Chain A
Amino acid sequence: NAGVTQTPKFRILKIGQSMTLQCTQDMNHNYMYWYRQDPGMGLKLIYYSVGAGITDKGEVPNGYNVSRSTTEDFPLRLELAAPSQTSVYFCASFRTGGFGEQYFGPGTRLTVT
């Protein structure tokens, strides 16, 4: 199993550009999550999904959108990139009954200038 994979690893965007961060898991987990990590701030939940077709906002959803058309994929969309979205983004997955343990991808480092 590859676990949770994320692409790209790095990206530089100009203000106002848009992009999609990709996340795929091959563990048949029903839950998937997107976090952002800023220095000294820990991980903040952006959006999460409890299964295909079901998504919900986390703590910091503004400026982002998500969709979940399949169990495996959970892309994160930035429509109008702003410098405040410079961060490291992590995708994670979890299986109901898995006692809360989430499995993380390697992350995408995004810089908006």
Chain B
Amino acid sequence: AQSVTQLDSQVPVFEEAPVELRCNYSSSVSVYLFWYVQYPNQGLQLLLKYLSGSTLVKGINGFEAEFNKSQTSFHLRKPSVHISDTAEYFCAVSDKEGGSEKLVFGKGTKLTVNP
């Protein structure tokens, strides 16, 4: 079965600073990778996804992620964060074990953007 490791549980940054949220997954077989964002007291919203093709994936709100197959990583980046980016971010990987389609989530990274 797949597993996902988000290396930082909390990341505090100042407004307009760059940020990187790190994610590693367990398997090198063909997978789909996702980043979801959860704003306070809300559900999860898709930020971006990697299916195939270009290893640099662009998402909403200026976020991007780079797929690195050899390092089994899918790190999320933003060159300049805003206060409104304060949220929890979840990395997820597709899992088709047993023929059913599921997602396996990391434990999340809380991004806090300070003025």
Residue B83 at the A interface, CB < 8 A? no
The number of inter-chain residue pairs (CB within 8 angstroms) is 50
- Distance of A86 from chain B, by nearest CB (Å): 16
- B46 & A101 in contact (Cβ 8 Å cutoff): yes
In Å, the complex CA distance between A48 and B96 comes to 13
Per the CB 8 Å criterion, the residue count for chain A at the interface is 24
User: Given the interface contacts A48-B100, A48-B102, does A106 sit within 8 Å of B49 by beta carbon?
Assistant: no
B:57-115 near A, CB below 8 Å: 90, 94, 100-103, 105-108
Of chain B, the residue at the smallest CB distance from A31 is B101
Q: Choose from A56, A101, A105 the contact partner of B43 (Cβ within 8 Å).
A: A105
Contact check, A94 vs B101: say whether CB atoms are below 8 A apart: yes
Instruction: Give Cα distance in the complex from A110 to B90, angstroms.
Output: 22
The verdict on B51 contacting chain A, using a C-beta distance below 8 Å, is yes
Contacts A104-B44, A107-B43 known; 8 new A-B pairs at CB < 8 A = A31-B101, A40-B107, A43-B90, A100-B34, A100-B51, A101-B34, A101-B46, A101-B49
